[in-house]
Amino acid sequence: MAIRYPNGKKFLPSPEAASKKTPPKSHSYSNRGMTLEEDLNATNEFYLDRGLAVIHKKPTPVQIVQVDYPKRSAAVIKEAYFKQASTTDYNGVYKGRYIDFEAKETRSTTAFPLKNFHEHQILHMKEVDRQQGIAFVIIRFSMTEEMYYMPASLLFTYWDRMQSGGRKSITKQEIEKHAYHIPLGLHPRIPYLSIIDHYFL
Q: Tens digit of pLDDT for each residue in 36-77?
A: 999 999 999 999 999 999 999 987 656 677 778 777 677 777
186 in any annotated domain? yes
Q: Span 83-95, mean pLDDT?
A: 84
Contacts by residues 42-50 (CB-CB < 8 Å, ≥ 24 positions apart)? 42/188, 42/189, 43/188, 43/189, 43/190, 43/191, 43/192, 44/90, 44/92, 46/187, 46/188, 46/189, 47/188, 47/193
Q: Give the whole-angstrom CA distance, residue 181 versus residue 172.
A: 12
Burial of 9 (0-12, 13-18, 19+ CB in 10 A): exposed
- Asked, for residue 159, whether it belongs to a domain, the answer is yes
The structural domain count of the chain equals 1
Could you tell me if residue 12 is inside a domain?
Answer: no
Domain that holds residue 150: 35-59+85-199
- 20 part of a folded domain: no
Q: Of 135, 156, 129, give the one whose Cα is nearest residue 91.
A: 135
Position 67 in a domain: no
Domain for residue 163, yes or no? yes
Query: Reading across the β-sheet that carries 180-181, which strands appear in turn?
Result: 54-57, 90-94, 97-106, 134-141, 146-151, 180-181
Give, to the nearest 10 degrees, the angle between helix 152-163 and helix 119-130.
140
Range in 5-14, 20-29, 91-100 the model is least confident about? 20-29
In a domain, 19, yes or no: no
pLDDT tens per residue, range 95-118: 999 999 999 999 999 999 999 999
Asked if the structure places residue 119 within a domain, the reply is yes
Q: Is the pLDDT of residue 184 over 50?
A: yes
Q: Which CATH number fits the domain that encloses residue 112? A: 3.40.1350.10
